[in-house]
């Protein structure tokens, strides 16, 4: 089982109206002759919010097959499933054949203590998004499929920006890790504007990574990541935290 995140319904970039492509996908999935299709559809139904008047964030666990089926659906339907994301799944949880395709790079194992603290894979249907946060260990981020854009801030600048956001929403926090709290509601919106809006810190750094590219993110550096595209294509990344 893998940790999924879903934003549904989505706002159409063309019309600004809500589009519930997920319901159409689940109907298609439940009609699959394979009974697993109905099981997968039931998992998503159970995790979804009944109120479809605005985009809602859901988190649930499901097999990798759900993402594969959604990608298959997108290949044959005009109304695409989007923002379905396996976020921060542990590499040891992958099937053995896939895990063998992702050995830790030598730059991770041969520097410092050679201690790989953790590793994750990120698989989703674009657009995908991770709000501003920081990690306690150095991070090697590698892009596998499609493109992502990463915006980074040095520790002191990121601290100031994050505190300003917390003051705007009148709460306190110390976002060292990516958490569900930052994925919905006012915090998500304010963080997004602070990092990706028209007025951003002068020392923000932007990098675009494509298949085969790697980006080193130093310990304590704040960063936000989003897909470069928004059309429901598959986006895949992997990273290793080490020390």
Q: Mean pLDDT, to the nearest integer, of 182-201? A: 83
Burial bucket for residue 154 (CB in 10 Å: 0-12, 13-18, 19+): middle
Q: Are 179 and 87 in contact (CB under 8 A)?
A: no
Q: Mean pLDDT, to the nearest integer, of 168-196? A: 71
Separation CA 152–CA 195 (nearest Å)? 9
Element spanning 121, H or E: strand 116-125
With 60 as the cut, is the pLDDT of residue 176 above it? no
pLDDT band at 182 (very low <50, low <70, confident <90, very high): low
With 90 as the cut, is the pLDDT of residue 204 above it? yes
Give the three-state DSSP class for 110: coil
Q: Are 207 and 215 in contact (CB under 8 A)?
A: yes
Q: Which two tokens stand for residue 106?
A: 């030598």
Burial bucket for residue 33 (CB in 10 Å: 0-12, 13-18, 19+): exposed
- Cα-Cα end-to-end distance for the chain: 28
Which pLDDT does position 170 carry in this prediction? Answer: 74
Which pLDDT does position 169 carry in this prediction? Answer: 80
Q: Are 162 and 192 in contact (CB under 8 A)?
A: no
With 90 as the cut, is the pLDDT of residue 128 above it? yes
Give the three-state DSSP class for 90: strand
Which pLDDT does position 179 carry in this prediction? Answer: 54
Domains of the chain: 126-243 (2.60.120.650)
With 60 as the cut, is the pLDDT of residue 93 above it? yes
Q: What is the dihedral of CA 8, 11, 14, 17, to 10 degrees?
A: 110
Which pLDDT does position 172 carry in this prediction? Answer: 57
Q: What is the pLDDT of residues 13-67, one digit of tens each?
A: 666 677 789 999 999 999 999 999 999 999 999 988 777 677 888 999 999 999 9
Q: What is the dihedral of CA 126, 130, 132, 136, to 10 degrees?
A: -140
In this structure, is the dihedral angle defined by the CA atoms of residues 177, 180, 186 and 191, taken in order, positive or negative? positive
Separation CA 117–CA 138 (nearest Å)? 9
With 70 as the cut, is the pLDDT of residue 149 above it? yes
With 70 as the cut, is the pLDDT of residue 192 above it? yes
Q: Which two tokens stand for residue 111?
A: 């520097």
* Average pLDDT of every residue of the chain: 89
Q: Mean pLDDT, to the nearest integer, of 206-228? A: 97
Q: Are 242 and 107 in contact (CB under 8 A)?
A: no
């Amino acid at each position: 089982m893998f940790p999924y995140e879903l934003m549904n319904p989505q706002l159409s970039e063309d019309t600004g109206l809500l589009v519930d492509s997920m319901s159409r996908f689940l109907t298609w999935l439940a009609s699959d002759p394979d009974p697993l299709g109905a099981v997968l559809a039931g998992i998503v139904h159970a995790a979804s919010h009944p109120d479809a008047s605005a985009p809602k964030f859901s988190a649930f666990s499901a097999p990798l097959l759900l993402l594969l089926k959604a990608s298959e659906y997108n290949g044959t339907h005009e109304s695409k499933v989007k923002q379905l994301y396996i976020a921060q799944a542990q590499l040891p949880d992958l099937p053995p054949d896939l895990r063998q395709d992702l050995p830790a790079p030598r730059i991770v194992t041969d520097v410092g203590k050679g201690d790989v603290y953790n590793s994750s894979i990120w698989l989703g249907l674009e657009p995908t998004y991770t709000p501003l946060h920081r990690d306690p260990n150095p991070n090697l981020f590698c892009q596998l499929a499609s493109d992502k854009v990463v915006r980074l801030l040095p520790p002191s600048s990121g601290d100031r920006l994050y505190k300003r956001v917390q003051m705007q929403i009148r709460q306190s926090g110390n976002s060292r890790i990516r958490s569900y709290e930052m994925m919905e509601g006012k915090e998500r919106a304010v963080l997004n504007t602070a990092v990706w809006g028209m007025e951003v810190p002068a020392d923000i750094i932007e990098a675009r990574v494509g298949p085969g590219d790697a980006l080193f993110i130093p310990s304590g550096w704040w960063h936000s990541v989003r897909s470069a595209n928004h059309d429901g294509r598959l986006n895949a990344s992997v990273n290793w935290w080490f020390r």
